[in-house]
Amino acid sequence: MAKIIVTDRNGNEKHILADENSTLMEIIRDAGLDIEAACGGCCACATCHVYVDLEWIDKLNKMDDDEESMLDQAFSVKKNSRLSCQINFTKKIDGIRLVLAPE
């Protein structure tokens, strides 16, 4: 089965089985990792902030204005910052590597 590889805030790498009908946030949250996702995935907070491995960033759907604006409420925003609720998992990104941003 497809998977994503997530580094949590303690630096531990977790391989998580991923389902095509989910967003990256849902996959991370349902695996029990510490991601707040306060608004539940409607792009209304910035608490599912992740860094996408540079090798993968160009394979993702482009960020829209809504997401870019919400990132203004996050800290330590980098060029590879994304809100994981705005990325749908597809087979194209099977094996994608992410790092949870600091809280």
Q: Which residues bind other proteins (CB under 8 A)?
A: 38-40, 42, 44-47, 68-69, 71-77, 102-103
Q: Across the strands, what pairs with 5? A: 15, 97
CA dist list (Å): 47 to 30, 62, 76, 92, 93: 15, 19, 12, 25, 22
Toward other proteins, which CB reaches closer, 79 or 91? Answer: 79
CB of 39: closest distance to other proteins in angstroms? 5
Q: Which is nearer to other proteins, 40 or 95 (CB)?
A: 40
Is the Cβ of residue 21 or residue 76 nearer to other proteins in the bound state? Answer: 76
